[in-house]
Each structure stands twice: as structure tokens, then as C-alpha cells.
């Protein structure tokens, strides 16, 4: 069976084909369904390795439909590039490196998220882009209002235009703000529509409903976690799960020196941001069901500050969500352990 490494790019991709008789063929083709079908459609079933990227899923599905075995590899797995020279990097060398890695078994398969959850991730990405746009426009509008000695009362984002309209503002300022507010109204409508679509998709996912029983974890955060993780059995422990989300401290140790720094921020930034926001909500909450978590976090805040406490709380929330999903159990506040006393630690 032939071994094929593909270095995928947006417009053109590089192929390295290692044939069963020891031959090597290198080819550059356009990254399109038509070209992949033309090149691979008449080939005997082969093993193909390509890196996880924006194009990798549709290319993998295309090649699998043509009868080939396709492996989408984790690009963060360093041993996969062991045969690549550090001094010279080209697409040809990268494709050959992937082919060699497949031959040697020096790769780590990336998890391929199911189609339904990829759709939820896309909806979340669209919503995030809309919200960021609205946030930027609101910041500009509030800055213009402050420039004229006025202040916009605190409110939800979708009400800012009404709060500004209620102020007595000069005609020039009104003309400056008009283009922004003309865009804000349809933006608010699109964000509300995105919320409804995500809620409808989440209603049919029992994992989302399960995780949403945790404090400060609403349908949006639960949907982001589930659509990113897809399969909780991929992880062997809560620490492994938190590391996947980039919520564990980075480490650069050597010999007798151990250096532990800030969180790695690996993985999906949206999920990490939402979990940190959930941590802040728990810190500010007065709900009895979050009392143990809040007391634990406030003890950290007293030593390290509230920002670090919120991140630590996000990491602990990740562990709680992992256990809930793994065991298929709703959140139980009585099972959450509070801060340990000095006597408990000594024993």
C-alpha cells in the first residue's frame, strides 16, 4: 500500500507519495475537490497523513470517499517532525516529513469532531464575531459621549442605543453616532437570532443539558464545551481535560530548577474565556450552591489576587464539568469540597 503525505494549504497542496516498491513521487496540486478527485480517484487504496487545519476535514472526507485511509494528525506533536531539517523549510520537505512520519508511526491522530458539533462550533464563532463587533461600536459611541461631558448609564449591550437616545446630546454628536446606531440595531437582532439557533441546537444534545446544571454554566458555555470536546472519553483525567483547554500552568524546568508560570492557553480560546467568565460570576455570586467554590477561590484571592483566583476557579470548573460528563451526573453542590484548613493539610 502506498504512503502519502499531504502538506495542505489554502490554494495549493504538496504531495509526497512513497510507493510500495520504494519509489518517491512529488506533486503539487490545487486544493480543490476536483483536483483531489482527479489525482486520487484512480489510485489504489493508500494511507494518507495530513495535518489538522481549516481544510483538513473536507479533504479527509473527500479522500475517504475515494477509498483511501486518511489520518488527520495533531500538528502540535513534535516527534512527527523529527526528520525535518531545522535550517530549511519548504512544502516539499514538509510533505516528505509527513510521509516519513506515517511510515514510522510517529504521529498522534487528532480528534475529528462530529458534523453536528462542528455546526454548533460554527454558530458560536459567528455569534462571537457579531458580539465583538457590537462591543467595539459601543465602546466608540460611549467614548464620543464622554468627550462631550456626558455619561451613558450602565445597561445591557442591546440597550445602549436607547440610553444614549435618552440623553440630551448636541446635533454634531448625534450625526456622528447615527452610522453606528444604524448598524447596532441589526447587529442586536442577529445576535438574538444566533442565541435562538444555538439554544435550539443545544436542546437536542443531552450533554449540554447536563453541563448546564453546573453554577454559572449557561447553555452558551455548555454548548461551547461540548462542541469543542465532542467526546469526553478522549481524556483520562480532569487534569488532562484542563490541559486540553489550556488552563494548567506552563512549566519550563531543567535539572534542579522547576519553573511554573502562567497557564499555557493551549486549545480553544473561546471555551477558556467562557470558563474564566464563569469563574468571575461565581466569585461575585451570593448563591448558596456556589458557597464552597467561592470560599475556595477567595482563599486563593487573599494570597494571589482575584484574577488568578478566577482562572483557578475556571480550572476547577473544568474538572467538575469533566466529572459530570464522564459519570453522566448533574451538578451536586453537596459534593463540592471547600477550602482545607491547615489541620486538614497536616493530616
Question: DSSP state, 212?
Answer: T
**Contact yes or no for 136/187 (Cβ under 8 A):** no
Report how far residue 211's alpha carbon sits from residue 218's, in angstroms, rounded to the nearest whole number. Answer: 8
Report how far residue 35's alpha carbon sits from residue 46's, in angstroms, rounded to the nearest whole number. Answer: 17
CA distances from 253 to 114, 184, 249, 256, 259 (A): 37, 49, 12, 8, 5
The Cβ of residue 142 has, within 10 Å, a number of other Cβ atoms equal to 16
Report how far residue 111's alpha carbon sits from residue 52's, in angstroms, rounded to the nearest whole number. Answer: 9
Report how far residue 277's alpha carbon sits from residue 248's, in angstroms, rounded to the nearest whole number. Answer: 16
CATH number belonging to domain 3-104: 3.30.420.140
pLDDT for residue 344: 56
Task: Check the CA dihedral 154-155-160-164 and report its sign.
Answer: negative
Banded pLDDT at 256 (limits 50, 70, 90):
confident
Report how far residue 121's alpha carbon sits from residue 225's, in angstroms, rounded to the nearest whole number. Answer: 10
Report how far residue 102's alpha carbon sits from residue 120's, in angstroms, rounded to the nearest whole number. Answer: 32
pLDDT for residue 337: 86
Banded pLDDT at 46 (limits 50, 70, 90):
very high
User: Strand, helix or coil at 264?
Assistant: coil
pLDDT for residue 345: 54
pLDDT for residue 137: 95
**Contact yes or no for 49/98 (Cβ under 8 A):** yes
Query: Checking DSSP bridges between strand 12-18 and strand 24-30, what pairing results, if any?
Result: antiparallel
**Contact yes or no for 111/230 (Cβ under 8 A):** yes
pLDDT for residue 203: 84
Report how far residue 22's alpha carbon sits from residue 213's, in angstroms, rounded to the nearest whole number. Answer: 57
User: Strand, helix or coil at 152?
Assistant: coil
Percentage of residues in the chain having pLDDT higher than 90: 80
Residue 23 CB burial class (10 angstroms; 0-12, 13-18, ≥19)? exposed
Closest CA to 104 of 86, 80, 133: 80
Over 70: is that where the pLDDT of 343 sits?
A: no
Banded pLDDT at 254 (limits 50, 70, 90):
confident
Alpha helices per DSSP H over the chain: 33-40, 56-65, 91-104, 115-147, 160-165, 171-203, 206-211, 219-229, 238-244, 269-284, 291-304, 306-327, 342-346
Over 70: is that where the pLDDT of 341 sits?
A: no
Banded pLDDT at 17 (limits 50, 70, 90):
very high
pLDDT for residue 342: 53
Q: What is the mean pLDDT of residues 161-170?
A: 90
**Contact yes or no for 40/63 (Cβ under 8 A):** yes
Report how far residue 47's alpha carbon sits from residue 29's, in angstroms, rounded to the nearest whole number. Answer: 18
Banded pLDDT at 108 (limits 50, 70, 90):
very high
How does pLDDT run across 49-107, given as a tens digit for each residue?
A: 999 999 999 999 999 999 999 999 999 888 898 887 777 889 999 999 999 999 999 99
Q: Specify the pTM.
A: 0.87
∠ Cα 320 323 324 (to 5°): 85
pLDDT for residue 87: 79
Over 90: is that where the pLDDT of 188 sits?
A: yes
**Contact yes or no for 219/202 (Cβ under 8 A):** yes
pLDDT for residue 83: 80
Lowest mean pLDDT among 149-153, 216-220, 293-297, 342-346: 342-346
Amino acid at each position: 500500500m502506498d504512503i502519502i503525505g499531504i502538506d495542505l494549504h489554502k490554494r495549493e497542496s504538496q504531495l509526497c507519495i512513497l510507493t510500495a516498491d520504494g519509489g518517491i513521487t512529488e506533486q503539487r496540486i490545487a486544493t480543490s475537490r476536483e483536483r483531489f478527485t482527479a489525482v486520487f480517484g484512480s489510485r489504489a487504496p493508500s494511507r494518507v497523513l495530513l495535518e489538522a487545519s481549516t481544510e483538513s476535514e473536507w479533504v479527509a472526507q473527500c479522500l475517504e470517499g475515494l477509498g483511501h485511509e486518511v489520518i488527520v494528525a495533531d500538528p502540535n506533536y513534535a516527534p512527527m517532525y523529527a526528520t525535518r531539517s531545522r535550517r530549511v523549510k519548504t512544502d516539499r520537505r514538509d510533505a516528505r516529513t509527513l510521509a516519513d512520519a506515517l511510515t514510522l508511526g510517529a504521529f498522534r491522530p487528532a480528534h475529528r469532531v462530529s458534523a453536528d458539533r462542528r455546526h454548533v462550533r460554527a454558530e458560536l464563532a459567528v455569534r462571537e464575531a457579531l458580539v465583538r463587533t457590537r462591543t467595539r461600536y459601543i465602546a466608540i459611541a460611549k467614548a464620543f459621549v464622554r468627550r462631550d461631558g456626558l455619561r451613558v448609564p450602565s445597561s445591557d449591550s442591546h440597550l445602549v442605543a436607547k440610553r444614549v437616545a435618552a440623553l440630551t446630546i448636541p446635533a454634531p454628536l448625534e450625526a456622528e453616532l447615527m452610522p453606528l446606531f444604524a448598524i447596532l440595531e441589526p447587529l442586536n437582532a442577529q445576535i438574538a437570532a444566533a442565541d435562538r439557533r444555538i439554544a435550539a441546537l443545544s436542546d437536542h444534545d443531552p450533554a449540554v443539558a447536563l453541563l448546564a446544571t453546573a453554577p454559572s454554566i449557561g447553555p452558551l458555555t455548555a454548548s461551547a464545551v461540548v462542541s469543542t470536546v465532542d467526546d469526553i472519553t478522549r481524556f483520562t483525567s480532569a487534569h488532562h481535560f484542563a490541559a486540553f483547554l489550556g488552563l494548567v500552568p506552563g512549566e519550563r524546568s531543567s535539572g534542579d530548577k522547576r519553573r511554573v508560570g502562567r497557564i499555557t492557553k493551549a486549545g480553544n480560546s473561546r471555551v477558556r474565556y467562557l470558563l474564566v467568565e464563569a469563574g468571575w460570576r461565581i466569585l461575585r455570586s451570593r448563591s448558596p450552591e456556589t458557597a464552597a467554590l467561592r470560599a475556595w477561590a477567595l482563599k486563593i484571592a487573599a494570597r494571589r489576587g482575584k484574577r488568578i483566583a478566577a482562572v483557578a476557579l475556571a480550572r476547577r470548573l473544568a474538572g467538575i464539568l469533566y466529572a459530570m460528563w464522564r459519570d453522566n451526573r448533574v451538578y451536586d453542590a453537596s459534593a463540592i469540597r471547600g477550602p482545607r484548613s491547615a489541620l486538614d493539610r497536616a493530616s
